[in-house]
Amino acid sequence: MLCIQKIVIKIGSAVLTNPDKSLNQKILKHLAEQIAELYEEGHQILMVSSGAVASGRNIIDFSDEKRRQVRRQMYAGLGQGHLMWKYHNVFSKHHIPIAQCLITRDNFADRTEFQNLVTTLEGYLRFRVIPILNENDIITNNGVTFNGNDFLAAMTAVAIKADKLIILSDIDSLYDKDPRLNPDAKPIHIVEKIDKELEKKCGGSSSSMGLGGMIAKVQAIKIASEAGIKTFLGRGTDRNILHNLVDTMKPVGTYFKPQKTKRPSRFKDWLKHFSMPKGTLMIDDGAAAALKRRKSLLLVGIKEISDGVESKDTVYIVNTHNEPIGTGKINYSSAEIKDAMKTKKKLKTVIHCDNLTIR
């Protein structure tokens, strides 16, 4: 019996574009056909698609605009509509409705906007609409972004509690070394856990095929894996790639095993992955041990707190060695806490155990 799954599919710009940066209509059609098959099987599909900038470059030449960021944003705005028109054309042949969803990192950080986003996306899935997400490049700035659509896809997969995340790129799998430089390089088909050693290797060179240069993808995948989501990396131009990744046990691409079987609450996910903490709270070893036993944080365990933190803000929690402990939603401002530490004034629970997540 077929198990109906909630699947997030991320399609990179390298998959969708030709060498001259124009949209590859053949690949677009091929992927739509595969997605349509999954859709007809009953799976709920959400897409994260790059390609807007590439689409815009083929409409108007903005090369006279010398500001690179502005030029990129202009291409993105111009090309987004064109990209969605192409998607509409290929999916309409399969009678599949689509919805454009342009979002920003701030939409995830704001608790109310995050809840609205999740409600809307789940509504689309319930009514058999395929949402197609992309970052709203027109209004994003360099300081607050997803750092690429791999992160947007991973965060979205966590937000909607997806069963699988599939990242389609121009590489067929993770390798133990750069295959362009090492003929004996071997594909890694299963990653048991993304640990510090793997992350260190991934950041070791500029290669986009071997371990080095894969750091952004691996860090994004880690978010999904730690949330209990099965994640796959594969080459988007390969024949029947989605079918092979979803329905077969073939050694195709790289499978990153989920690290949890029990999913945390959506609020805990928001705290850990999506909130943007306003400061840092340093605690002593006793408090750190208590938090790991699911205890609340009291004033007595606090060593330092950043200025400018307000009540109900989220904060990073670190130990005295500045090592991360977790993230929590605080009940007092930094001014109130510093005053209480100085005057020995009693405060109730500073961070309740229900409002914190431990790394």
Tell me the CATH number at 297.
Answer: 2.30.130.10
| H or E element in which residue 266 lies | helix 266-269
Please give the single-letter amino acid code of residue 355: N
What number of other Cβ atoms are within 10 A of residue 61's Cβ? Answer: 10
Q: How far apart are CA 315 and CA 310, in angstroms?
A: 10
Please give the span between the terminal C-alpha atoms of the chain, in angstroms, as a whole number.
Answer: 37
Report how many domains make up the chain: 2
Q: Are residues 230 and 191 in the same domain?
A: yes
Instruction: Determine how β-strand 98-103 pairs with β-strand 130-135.
Output: parallel
Q: Are residues 227 and 202 in the same domain?
A: yes
Residue 286 is given by DSSP the state: H
Q: How far apart are CA 90 and CA 24, in angstroms?
A: 13
272 found inside a domain: no
User: Residue 257 sits in a domain of what CATH number?
Assistant: 3.40.1160.10
Domain boundaries, position 340: 277-358
Residue 296 is given by DSSP the state: P
Q: What is the CA radius of gyration of the chain?
A: 22
Within 13 A of 296's CA, how many CA atoms are on the CB side?
14
The three-class DSSP label of residue 97 is coil
Q: Are residues 49 and 169 in the same domain?
A: yes
The three-class DSSP label of residue 254 is strand
Q: Which two structure tokens, joined as six digits, stand for 102? A: 């342009």
What is the pLDDT tens value at each position of the chain, 359 positions in all? 568 899 999 998 889 988 877 788 899 999 999 999 999 999 999 999 988 888 888 888 898 998 988 898 999 999 999 999 999 999 999 999 999 999 999 999 999 999 999 999 999 999 999 999 999 888 876 656 777 899 999 999 999 999 999 999 988 888 887 777 788 888 889 999 988 888 877 765 444 445 555 788 888 999 999 899 999 999 999 988 998 887 766 778 899 999 876 777 889 889 988 999 999 999 999 999 999 999 999 999 999 999 999 999 999 999 999 999 999 999 999 999 999 999 988 899 999 999 999 98
pTM for this one? Answer: 0.89
Q: Are residues 292 and 336 in the same domain?
A: yes
Q: Are residues 251 and 295 in the same domain?
A: no
Q: Are residues 255 and 160 in the same domain?
A: yes
Q: Are residues 194 and 230 in the same domain?
A: yes
Last residue of a domain, one of 266, 286, 313: 266
